[in-house]
Amino acid sequence: MSDYSKIREEIYGETTDAIRELFDRKSVRAFEKREIGERERQQIFYAAAEAPSAGCQQLYTILDIRDQEIKDKLAVSCDNQPFIAEAPMVLVFCADCKKWQDAYIEAGCSPRQPGAGDLMLAVTDTAIAAQNAVVAAESLGIGSCYIGDIMEQCETHRELLHLPEYVFPAVMVVFGYPADRQDKREKPRRFDMEHVVFENVYPETFDCREMLKRRCGELSYEEWTGRFCKRKYNSDFSREMTRSAEKYLEDFADDYRKQQLDHAGTGAEQVQKPGGGRVMDRSKLLFDSDQYLEKAGQLRADRTVHYNCAQAVIIPFAKECGISENKAFALGMHFGGGMKMGSICGAVAGAAMVIGMMGGGDQEYQAFLRAMKEHHGDKLDCAVLLRKNAEAGGGRKTHCDGMIYEAIENIVNCLQ
């Protein structure tokens, strides 16, 4: 018997029931065909809510997935794992920075935009609550399994679970009474404590070979680690998880902080951004229009997604406006085609939103309008502009692209 096993056995024999349950708990992926009663569900929910929480904010929202159709879809989207659909109880624990943001706004506060630190704090709250639920379920004889794949497929899960901005599905856990074969399955061994606990500071080196020795079994360290790296870390699902997590993080990317000036004695023109007290320096934000024109061109050339004129103007400026590209996309959704009724040109409407979000007042907006009208006359209605273009023998897409590029150039000029 190894030192680890010996010490673990000694602790197990003399410790409390609660700690024994933590030692015994293992992931369960096969369940009895037996429902979890409402009383047991409530005990699990209340146990989760009693978890430690930063400032008692409870920065999470728990989705109790009872719709079998949603379970079936999650089983597919979460790396094709059928046992998810078969689990009697499926909970998605969402890190939620939206509820408090809404509360602050409703109370008349001027809250800053949630940032990466807020998300990390919410994820911590969420994971602790999820673990409380798992421990509570274990005490009731109910098994569980964490599903990290809920962080993948951002677009799919946002639509399926109706997840708004500032809400991130950090943890999914499936619950059920373990099938016999699960009870008899041996729990995977953990690392020896010498590779886990260090006094005071992070170690300069790890003895990775020693740490993984027992896991390698009869394989060499290189062979076992290479297989594991390919199967897990370098896998397609791991890369997809990173892509999706980065997409969620866009909501929390506050580039205004990066653009903030040490403004004592700079003399630069500064604009107060409503709602957060942040200061933006236009002279640092807008070097020239090339970067925005290039991004707009990429959007309009995308054959997989249609970006209307408003979206193609707003999205290139999303970071400078302090919003995510997803939010910029949604903001311009119904402004294409002159608000879908031939009214004001979408590129002009998108520009108006960008100028406003970047702190431009009436003077800047009127300067923008004068520049646009110089080339197109007083009428900037989509229907009028398209008719004139058609009469001159021009193509519709070429005309719309031209309006987008012209609007971007004039945004930069009027804010400079």
The pLDDT tens digits for 238-249 are 999 999 999 999
Instruction: Spell out the alpha helix ranges (H) of 162-207.
Output: 180-184
Q: Are 103 and 111 in contact (CB under 8 A)?
A: no
Q: Single out the residue of 102, 69, 235, 99 nearest to residue 168, CA to CA.
A: 99
Answer whether residue 77 shows pLDDT above 90: yes
Lowest mean pLDDT among 134-138, 251-255, 406-410: 251-255
Answer whether residue 276 shows pLDDT above 70: no
Determine the pLDDT at residue 272. 42
Answer whether residue 282 shows pLDDT above 50: no
Q: CA-to-CA distance for 227 and 33, rounded, in angstroms?
A: 35
Q: Are 313 and 408 in contact (CB under 8 A)?
A: yes
Q: Are 275 and 110 in contact (CB under 8 A)?
A: yes
Answer whether residue 338 shows pLDDT above 80: no
Answer whether residue 326 shows pLDDT above 70: yes
Q: Are 140 and 134 in contact (CB under 8 A)?
A: no
Instruction: State the average pLDDT for the chain.
Output: 87
Determine the pLDDT at residue 290. 83
Q: CA-to-CA distance for 384 and 373, rounded, in angstroms?
A: 13
Lowest mean pLDDT among 5-19, 71-85, 194-208, 259-273: 259-273
Mean pLDDT over residues 73-97, rounded?
96
Determine the pLDDT at residue 279. 37
pLDDT interval class at 280 (50, 70, 90): very low
276 or 386, higher pLDDT: 386
Beta bridge partners of 93: 62, 171
Q: Are 178 and 32 in contact (CB under 8 A)?
A: yes
| Per-residue pLDDT reduced to its tens digit, 13-41 | 999 999 999 998 999 999 999 999 999 99
Answer whether residue 351 shows pLDDT above 90: yes
Q: In 10 A of CB 142, how many CB atoms? A: 24
Q: What is the DSSP letter of 91?
A: E
277-to-85, 328, 361, 365, 412 alpha-carbon distances in Å: 47, 21, 17, 22, 23
Specify the 3-state DSSP secondary structure of 147: strand
Q: What are phi and psi of 291, to 5 degrees?
A: -65, -35
pTM of the model: 0.63
Determine the pLDDT at residue 1. 53
Determine the pLDDT at residue 6. 85
The position carrying tokens 């109370």 is: 107
Answer whether residue 266 shows pLDDT above 80: no
Mean pLDDT over residues 78-99, rounded?
96
337-to-307, 394, 396 alpha-carbon distances in Å: 11, 17, 11
SS (H, E, C) 288-329: CCHHHHHHHHHHHHCCCCCCCHHHHHHHHHHHHHCCCHHHHH
| Per-residue pLDDT reduced to its tens digit, 215-235 | 999 999 999 999 999 999 999
